[in-house]
Structure 1
Amino acid sequence: MISNGADHPALPEAPASGAHSADGAPPRRTPPRRTPSWTRALERDPGMPASTWRLRSDAWEYLRFAVKRLALGSDDVDALASDSEIHRSLRALETIEMYWAGFGQRYVRTIGELLEDGDYRTAFDLIGRVVHRLRGDTVPDEPRDEHLEEPERPETTSDPDPRPRFEVLIIDETTAADRDTIRSEGLRLRSPADAFTYEFVVVPSADDAVAAVLTNPHILACVVRPGFSEHTHQPLSRDLRETIALARSQVSEGPASSHSQLASVQRVLRLADTLAALRPELDLYLMAGAHLEDLAGALTHRFRRVFWREDQLELHLSLLRRASHLYDTPFFTALQDHARRPVGVFHALPVARGGSVVSSQWIKDLAEFYGLNLLLAETSATSGGLDSLLAPTGTIKKAQDLAARAFGARQTFFVTNGTSTANKIVHQALTAPADVVLVDRNCHKSHHHAVVLTGAKPAYLEAYPLNDFAFYGAVPLDRIKQLLLDYRAAGRLDEVRMVTLTNCTFDGIVYDPERVMAECLAIKPDLVFLWDEAWFAFAAFHPVTRRRTAMNAAKNLEERLKSPAHAAAHRAQQERLHDADGAPAPDEVWLAQQLIPSPEARIRVYATQSTHKTLTALRQGSMIHVHDQDWEREAEESFHEAYMTHTSTSPNYQILSSLDIGRRQVELEGYALVQRQLDLASSLAQTIARHPLLRRTFRVLTANDLIPAELRGVGRPMPLRHGLAPLWEAWAHDEFVVDPSRITIEISRTGVDGDTFKHEHLMDRYGIQVNKTSGNTVLFMTNIGTSRSAIAYLIEVLVKLAERFDAALSRRHPDDRAAQDEPLPPLPDFSAFSPGCATDAALPDGDMRTAFFAGQQRRNTEHVFPEELRARVAAGERPVSAGFVTPYPPGFPVLVPGQVITSDVLEFMAVLSTREVHGYDPQRGYRIFTTPPSDV
């Protein structure tokens, strides 16, 4: 572990040249002046974009430690050899600092020159200033330093400014003097009255602009000046160069949708489109000197504003105003104002304003624990600056509109009872009795309950099983297409209303929603899609993961359907899929092709997200995002009815305000938080995979384990380990990918099951919380609140546990080891609805609602213990479940009302290690029908 030098004694004052030190020792010999080698080539990879923040921090911390040792005489000048860690760190930092505001490349070069000259004390002081700034400490003022040029003085003085700070990227080929002028002008325009402050990052080329927005998450605005060049001269890593090429290639090189065909305009448009695709939250501005009016007419739809080159004040004001729009939290601010107002409560809620609490001698500890603000903010009021969640017209409506902007939706709705309620709202709004809904059998139980409530008929889709690990993956696209084709062949395709899938699954399997929706719409162009993204809300704020969110896929698909090229491709494919008489080709022809939807297909997409699971929000805070072309005509009224059906008339205002402020956070720093989350997850996986003891005890499951070979692409098993470019490629092309923020480890060699590992070892012994386990796996999920310290603690605990299990294994009898290695039973597929519930004998949908309500009547059911039930099944009986049986987590039903109980189901349940099983009474057994549901 590298020390940061904080445990060393304070440095003595550096002696004057040629003088003796205070203790009489002669001064150290100054090495001869050399040309800094780090200015010639970047020998070491400066890090993939997702980990540059860590490389930058670690490099500065290491320099502080190493140069302090030089200054103290603990190391000799050999530490400055051309292949030393000090030189490698300086080479990497000189590239990295170009893309961050503050200290810059000249500052790094100055430190290198000081080290070359043997002035270790001054170099140490300059390095210390950077480390203090990165840590968020106050940097002490110092007298002017002759080693630094005047324009960089602001970065070396104290910065106690408490205002939020962001960075602005300027893209232009400039001289050093020009860059200094830009920074000086920015300083001149600052005012103490400004709510925010910002600093400039100036880069010369389009490549450098892409590198900057990928590596520096603090950038919130980009100013494009047409003088930029195309390619960088920086010695970037191979991964970063490949990522830049991928990012720039996603924008067409053909004529842009602009009235101007000037080459200069096209290159500006391509850069703007590239930056917007990478970071949609960025504000883009154009500053030009010639033909300003023509450019404004051609480019305004790409840029927030177009400025005359000399109009710095308007740019300054625009930057601050846009930051204020992102910072705005209308409902949270209104609730704060309400809490500060003196009011009289002649309404509900005795707890409001603390009325029933602060004067009580028995429960005043409630206020002491939660704080008085919680009580001051409790109210039933929907006026006075607040709003009604059921009929919002003020601050809640504005907060929801801001959330829609942040997540790329057309409409967004807040939900205060979790995504379980959000799912029921969408199902009720969009489906009706007799509609067929294609549902992933392994989706969350709320979807199954929603089907009962609506009376729609579920046709269950089977995900591929991962029998070695006792959990399911996702539903292959070919299975969805085949089922749609089966309904078409049976003349029942018009009954199919909606497709419901989980993206991403509990275990981190992620679909390609754009491809799934496109190919399904090619078979039935009016399908509605519900994507359960309970665990995927964070994905909207990273350029790689965003492409697989439902809202981004809907937007891209809608744009694609409008293009003439798409229409031509659709016509050509239809000729291959139909014969001369218009009859469809055999199913195998449809399954063998990537289907192209009609340009007339309707894009109707809904996503439900548990904001509280992966972003900042109080528990049960969720959102529904909508991208529905037929919203006003087909869905708005029914959606609001369903929303009012399931939403409390007394919603929790603290949950609502947390959704509002959580949206503010992700718009302002979501990219920084998500890329840090992914990087920390990658470091955890790599440590487990490389540590000699950990890899002998635990195995990190990769895409090769979690995705069958026939469904995998050609990418690496753990793309993020190898850089951002391989991850980008996999997420762009593979049918399924694995969420890199989730680490599933296989624990068979520990000799304990997942549930025991979770409760007795992780939680009870070390206080580490995990959510999901299977018989032989444990899932570790990172989030935007995960810290490096938390990762280090987990690794420390895993090492201790590995030592314990290793010792126990050596003492275990060989027969016990063999029993531990016995394979798990195969995961059961959905058997079938009983004949009385099935719609027909050919297709899988059934009437689960009738079975559910029949199962609530005690006279129709009995309880049977597992042993007797197994005997009945073995004797040829076909018992039918009278209710849901749902192991939790992960929360999907193994049995649903009306389902035939098979030996596979019972065998699976017999070895299940999950302690919490909803719908199964261990004192009474399974609840089954005594009479077939059709006869009830």
Structure 2
Amino acid sequence: MSTLSPLPKIGTPSRAWRSRADAWEFLGYAIKQLDLDRQSGSSDSGLHSQISRTFALLDAVEPYWAEPGVAAVAQLRQLVDDGDPHAALELLAGLAHLPLASGAEQGSVSGLVQESLEDDAAQAEQAERPRFEVLVVDNITPQEAEALKNNMAAQRRPSDAFTYEINVVPSYEDALVAVLLNPDIQAVILRPGFSVRSSQQLGSDLRRFLAGHTPEGLQALRPVKRILGLAEEISGLRPELDVYLVAGVSIESLAGSLTRKFRRIFRRQDHLDLHLSVLSGVAERYEAPFFTALQDYSRRPASVFHALPISRGGSVGNSPWIRDMADFYGTNLLLAETSATSGGLDSLLDPHGSIKQAQDLAARAFGAQRTYFVTNGTSTANKIVHQSLLAPGDVVLVDRNCHKSHHYAFVLAGARVSYLDAYPLDKYAFYGAVPLASLKRRLLEYRRAGRLHEVKMVTLTNCTFDGIVYDVERVMEECLAIKPDLVFLWDEAWFAFARSHPIYRRRTAMASAAALEASFSSPAYAARYAEQAAALHDPVTGEPLDDEAWLNRRLIPNAAKARIRVYATQSTHKTLTSLRQGSMIHVYDQDFMASNQESFREAYMTHTSTSPNYQILASLDIGRRQVELEGFGLVQKQSDLAVSVAQAVARHPLLKKYFRVLTSRDLIEPQYRETRAAMPLREGLAELEDAWQRDEFVIDPSRLTLDISRTGIDGDSFRHSYLMDDHGIQVNKTSRNTVLFMTNIGTSRSSVAYLIEVLVKLAEGFENPHPSSRPRTVPVLSPASPQAGGSAVVAQTPPLPDFSTFAARFRVDDACEDGDIRAAYFESYKPESTAYLSADELALAVRAGQEVISAGFVTPYPPGFPILVPGQVITRQTLEFMAALDTREIHGFDHERGYRVFVDGSAVSGSGSSEAGVTETAVEAAGIGRLPAAS
């Protein structure tokens, strides 16, 4: 038994689920081995020592779970101490809801012990129902706690849709630890008798975290103040939870003042009403009105006399040629297909029934004022929002490397586009995010030019594809201080899951909008603003002081003038559970009804199909249910699993020789970080919270950017030939020398282990290169050393190009950076207005100082954003970057004809031609290479 590995310690709440699961699974192995040793007459004191440490770990964590719970741990320990491992094994077999190291949450210990409840029909029936835990916070004796559990259990009925178990903790701190550690908790009952401090042995990370959430002097406050404080903290950590108050006396006087803090208030004797309320609260989150309506519809007999032959399987079921479609997808898919909007199914374009209800529930889940479902992706969601808010002539400030759907939306809306440059990460060939100083500077430029009134909107990507996250509240706060009526669109295509995590949440658009609105009503806010106004305005004229004063100060807006108008688009299908193209638009707009309701409706009508896919809509509804009932635990796991990969790469002697997971220090420049932890979550939840509260930019821990420079292989080849083709590992994005790995709520510990195993195999192949260690399609690499190979890859990548400028005829003036992208786009429609230049011809023209203007979008994948947009002046920097790319896919570039540019009579005289005989020598002299041939 000496081969059994020691168990990990609980160092941070984010890892508690894994440590606890490992402990219970190890206990199953160890007790079974003890039983075998006893039968054979052998002994192993080392095994006893490991079992003792496992019990110590469970003593620390199990008080925060109802099942198996502390009583089961004590019973098991007693049996082991008594020398009866066989009885301990039987007891273990009968315990319900053991966590498994594989990630499953219920069942026996990994097949080592058999479930002993199979003959109990009542318990088997109960096990099929969804179960959860209810946390009671009160400092009562074990006997009183047992009586409370029995009283609540007595209220159960066979007709209950769910079943639950009660767990009691005695203190304010224990309550916070429980909601952080235990994702099974769905409701919290507060009773006035709880104490403040925990008597448990809490780790340093938990202590640091609790210190920031436990106000000083709490013990001296009246019980009602302590109760309110705890209710607010619980709602702040996990807003999806139902919180109830059970008071001894005078609940009538409490009800009016506390209604908003609690779902309901009860007297101690109201066990049945409390039981029913707990079930009702969970049932509200479980409700999926459109999914249910679609299920009901599919069960009804119907005769179809409308479009859609596939409806009810009509064109499939009797066909000998396509019957395999039904075999593959199943009959429910066909039964649920319809073009009807009756029978409870509702209309997406004019929802009043089940779709409207589903959207309202989604708004509640994501903290929005209203939510709209989109069935053709966040690309369309972005176009809807932009078209609803922007009119021709409006200026929008936007990150140049945002998703291409935004750029096309500006063409449709006719907005004037002012592109902002994110800070470049040239070493890794992708961009970071747009610094707040750049945003402020651009707004102040418009103010100085007398054009600030034209600026309507700011559009940014949060988080970026590579996991860089803005301080959303601060960005909006400081921008609104300069222009109080700005509208914000946050593209959260890759960040929908963030709502479910207590630290991630504060950097989402909806949570930031709510926090900003709440801050405006703070009594101290007006005094802070008055102090700022005096410092930033001339005391005589009242005019704003110079821009530097505004740039060097953290700004807050005038609450009397600022309007909170925030939109977020989310790809539910990318990071939550939804069928592909399922997306949502979340709105937190104080002026929506007055200023945008009608234009939003028209934009939604413009871009939404009149035949939306009902399966996608139903999956959005069910995905929202999952967010509210288990999102917290799933997101916690996905981040922790990513950290475990990073740790494996850093610790394994061969992996760290060829690979490195990039950290905050690599991806965020020092001036944007106040904290210094390279990977905050690895250090603990308190460290993560500190960074996410203070740093301008942070990194989403669930994304891992793997630097592969030292392998000597470029990212695209590594992705396709080594990962996908050879080992079936799918990734979305690479750069020249990096590969992006993303964990998600569906990632398992087994898949993480497989990834590490594959990386080790690849590293072994690099260490001892021979034909069998590489894909057939990849040539032999011969770097002098891993480091030399890495340097070679990096050296081939020129600096990332900033946005150059729009041509003069598409600009208003030279004072501001915006251009009329719509005019440039449609100018290319005119006959003979454009021509193609090869890469060589274009390089020579640019080298000669001629202005050449792009007539269309050119978007390499990767990096996936337009390198050129209509109306943009093409520069040497851009061409050098394009020439170095080896990507397989470049939208807007014709590998045979080259770049499409405007004909202005100077650089271009016709399709595929240029001045004065371009020669190979001239191109070489220009210093710009050719683009690679098409793949």
**Residue 451 (structure 2) pairs with residue 492 (structure 1):** yes
Moved more, 657-666 or 883-892: 883-892
Deviations 1:62-86 (Å, cap 9, x if unpaired)?
A: 12222222222287352266xx332
Cα displacement (A) at 1:224: 0.1
Query: Cα deviations across residues 406-434 of structure 1 (Å, max 9, x unaligned)?
Result: 00000000001100000000000011000
Cα deviation, residue 570, structure 1: 0.4
Task: Give the aligned residue type for 1:205.
Answer: S
Distance 1:48 1:569 in 2: 37
Q: Which residue of 142, 149, 155 corresponds with 1:183?
A: 149
- 5 Å matches for 1:438-837? 438-580=397-539, 581-600=541-560, 601-808=562-769, 812=782, 814=784, 817=789, 819-820=792-793, 822=795, 824-837=797-810
- Check conservation: 1:716, 1:726, Cα contact below 8 A: yes
Q: Does 1:78 align with 2:45?
A: yes
- C-alpha displacement of 1:103: 2.3
Cα deviation for residue 297 of structure 1 reads 2.2
Instruction: Sort the Cα spacing of 1:865 and 1:141 in 2 relative to 1 into closer, same or farther, 3 A.
Output: closer
Correspondent of 2:881 among 878, 894, 908: 908
Give the superposition deviation at 1:105: 1.5
Q: What SS class does the counterpart of residue 213 from structure 2 fall into?
A: helix
The answer as to whether partners of 1:720 and 1:726 remain within 8 angstroms in 2 is: yes
1:862 deviation in Å? 0.9
Alignment partner of 1:199 is 2:199: no
The answer (yes or no) to whether the contact 1:442–1:893 under 8 Å persists in 2 is yes
1:137 corresponding residue in structure 2? 107
- Please name the residue that 1:861 is paired with: 834
Q: How does 1:26-65 map to 2 (within 5 A)?
A: 45-65=9-29
Contact 2:735/2:862, CA 8 A, preserved across alignment: no
- Aligned residue pairs total 878
Helix, strand or coil: the match of 2:98? helix
Q: 1:97 aligns with which of 54, 62, 73?
A: 62
The 1:167/1:706 distance shift into structure 2, 3 A limit, reads: same
Q: Deviations over 1:612-668 (max 9, x none)?
A: 000000000000000000011011111001000000011000000000000011111
Q: Which amino acid aligns with 1:134?
A: P
Q: Distance in 2 between matches of 1:791 and 1:142?
A: 32
For 1:113, the aligned partner's letter is: Q
- Aligned-partner SS, 2:66: coil
Q: 1:654 to 1:158 in 2, by over 3 A?
A: closer
- From 880, 895, 898, the equivalent of 2:853 is 880
Shift of 1:850: 0.7
Q: Provide Cα deviations, 1:229-251, integer angstroms capped at 9, x if missing partner.
A: 001000111111212222335xx
Distance 2:345 2:31 in 1: 57
| Mapping of residues 102-113 of structure 1, within 5 Å | 102-113=67-78
Aligned sequence identity (%): 59
1:151 matched residue in structure 2: none
The structural deviation recorded for 1:159 is 7.7
Partner of 1:146 in structure 2? none
Note if contact 1:247-1:278 (Cα within 8 Å) is conserved in structure 2: no
**Change beyond 3 A, Cα 1:714–1:114:** same
Residues 1:68 and 2:32 are matched in the alignment: yes
1:253 & 1:329 partners in 2: Cα distance?
A: 43
Identify unmatched segments of 5+ residues in structure 1: 6-42, 144-153, 256-260
Deviation, structure 1 residue 286: 0.2
Partner SS state of residue 734, structure 2: coil
SS at 1:880 equivalent: coil
Question: In 2 relative to 1, CA 382–813 (structure 1 residues): closer, same or farther, beyond 3 Å?
Answer: closer
Matches within 5 A, 1:299-378: 299-378=258-337
1:651 is paired with a residue whose SS is coil
CA contact (8 A) 2:246 2:265 kept: yes
TM-score if structure 2 supplies the norm length? 0.91
- Alignment counterpart, residue 219 of structure 1, candidates 174, 179, 185: 185
1:810-831: CA deviations, max 9, x gaps?
9726498474452521000000
TM-aligned CA deviation for residue 913 of structure 1: 2.7
Against the structure 1 CA distance between its residues 539 and 100, is the aligned structure 2 distance closer, same or farther, given a 3 Å change threshold? same
Seen in structure 2, the aligned counterparts of structure 1 residues 220 and 806 have a Cα distance that, compared at 3 Å, is same
Q: How far apart in 1 are the matches of 2:247 and 2:292?
A: 38
Tell me, in whole angstroms, the C-alpha distance in 2 between the residues paired with 1:457 and 1:761. 44
Measured in 2, the distance between the counterparts of 1:254 and 1:180 equals 28
Measured after TM superposition, the shift of residue 111 of structure 1 is: 2.1
Alpha-carbon spacing, 1:329–1:889, altered in 2? closer, same or farther (3 Å)? farther
Q: Could you tell me how far 1:722 is from its partner in structure 2?
A: 1.1
User: In the alignment, which of 795, 817, 842 is matched to residue 815 of structure 2?
Assistant: 842
Distance across 1 between alignment mates of 2:744 and 2:158 = 36
SS class of match (2:484): coil
Per the TM alignment, residue 858 of structure 1 is displaced from its structure 2 partner at its CA by 4.7
Q: Does structure 2 conserve the Cα–Cα contact (< 8 Å) formed by 1:754 and 1:913? A: no
Pick the aligned partner of 2:391 from 428, 432, 441. 432
Q: Residues 812 and 141 (structure 1 numbering): CA distance in 2 closer, same or farther, change over 3 Å? A: closer
How far the C-alpha of 1:253 sits from its partner, in A, is: 7.7
Shift of 1:123: 2.5
Aligned to 1:924, the other structure's residue is in SS state coil
**Where do 5+ consecutive residues of structure 2 fail to align?**
101-105, 771-779, 910-935
1:757-812 CA-to-partner distances (Å, cap 9, x unmatched) read 01111111111110100000000011000000110111111111111122239972
Look up the SS of the partner of 1:624 in the other structure.
Answer: strand
Aligned equivalents of 1:3, 1:621: Cα separation in 2: 47
CA RMSD after TM alignment: 2.4
Counterparts in 2 of 1:58 and 1:262: CA distance versus 1, 3 Å: closer
Alignment partners' CA distance in 2, 1:749 and 1:200:
54
For 1:181 and 1:97, locate their aligned partners in 2 and report how far apart those are by CA, in whole Å: 20
- Asked whether the equivalents of residues 675 and 690 of structure 2 are also in contact (C-alpha less than 8 Å), the reply is no
Q: Distance in 2 between matches of 1:500 and 1:741?
A: 24
Distance in 1 between the 2:720 and 2:54 partners? Answer: 43
**Aligned with 2:654: secondary structure?**
helix
Which residue identity does 1:812 align to in structure 2? S
Secondary structure of 2:886's counterpart equals: coil
CA contact (8 A) 2:705 2:741 kept: yes
Which AA in structure 1 matches 2:535? Answer: R
TM-score calculated relative to the size of structure 1: 0.91
Aligned residue for 1:170, secondary structure, equals strand
Distance 1:186 1:738 in 2: 44
* Structure 2 contact 205–686 (Cα < 8 Å) conserved: yes
Q: 1:450 to 1:865 in 2, by over 3 A?
A: same
Return the letter of the residue paired with 1:850: A
Distance 2:515 2:296 in 1: 40
In structure 2, C-alpha distance between the alignment counterparts of 1:885 and 1:717, rounded to whole Å: 35
Residue aligned with 1:189, SS:
coil
- Cα distance in 2 between the residues matched to 1:142 and 1:834: 77
Give secondary structure in 1 for the equivalent of 2:411.
helix
**Secondary structure of the equivalent of 1:606?**
strand
Residue aligned with 2:559, SS:
coil
In the TM superposition, what whole-angstrom CA distance separates every residue of 1:584-620 from its partner, at most 9, and x where no partner exists? Answer: 1111111111101111210000000000000000000
User: Partner of 2:777 in structure 1?
Assistant: none
For residue 163 of structure 1, what is the aligned residue in structure 2?
A: 129
Assess if the C-alpha contact under 8 Å between 1:142 and 1:157 holds in 2.
Answer: no
Q: Deviation string for 1:850-908 (max 9, x for gaps)?
A: 10011233511111111111111111111110000011244310100000000111111
